[in-house]
Amino acid sequence: MEPAAPTLDHYRDQIAGVLNRTAIDIGSILIAAKHAHPRRFMEWVEAELPFSYPKATQLMAISRAFRELPPEKRDLLPAPWTTMLTLTRLDADRFDQALEAGFISPDMTRSQALALTGKTEAPEPEPRPWKSGPPKGTVTSKSRLPASLLVRELQRYDPGELTPTQRHELAAWLTGGPDGTTEVDGERELCGHVG
């Protein structure tokens, strides 16, 4: 007789554990990068990483709060990084009490975490306007992916897989206007000619 397949709850808990480690580990890497390059850190995050500087600071806060937890306690952290971020508001004693009482678990919701902090709803994050616009070289877009990652992703595909319409739209985007420029962040910058 074959052993029974693991339950979906088992897989959920495995995924939650990986997500927890990922947020904490990314935060640790960001802390090291900020320590090594404090002057260029914010510009680097905005230009090269697939998330914003405010999210980077939140991931670092998660790492600072939870990276020293023993593995058995780390595995009990909630999966959503925003829920973990909410738990960083608890002092160490309150966190330990909630963990021991079973209030903190992989399936914990953000609302439950807010209740532990004494808040019923999260305040809307305040936008952090740049003092004089985004750092030089930052390309802002709805995708939030750096151009280098977008180019690498596009290069994974065979150009023959593109439809004529896709090729035309891509060529038009690359060449921009009749002068061979493409608008980036409200300015016209040389992007290159197709052809």
φ, ψ at 140 (rounded to 5°): -90, 140
pTM of the model: 0.56
- More confidently predicted of 157 and 44: 44
Q: Where are the domains of the chain?
A: 8-117, 147-190
Percent of the chain scored above 70 by pLDDT?
Answer: 66
Q: How confident is the model at residue 191 (pLDDT cuts 50, 70, 90)?
A: very low
Q: What's 97's DSSP letter? A: H
Q: What is the pLDDT of residues 29-39, one digit of tens each?
A: 999 999 999 99
Q: What is the pLDDT of residue 127?
A: 53
Helix (H, G, I), strand (E, B) or coil at 43: helix
How many Å separate Cα 121 from the centre of its chain? Answer: 22
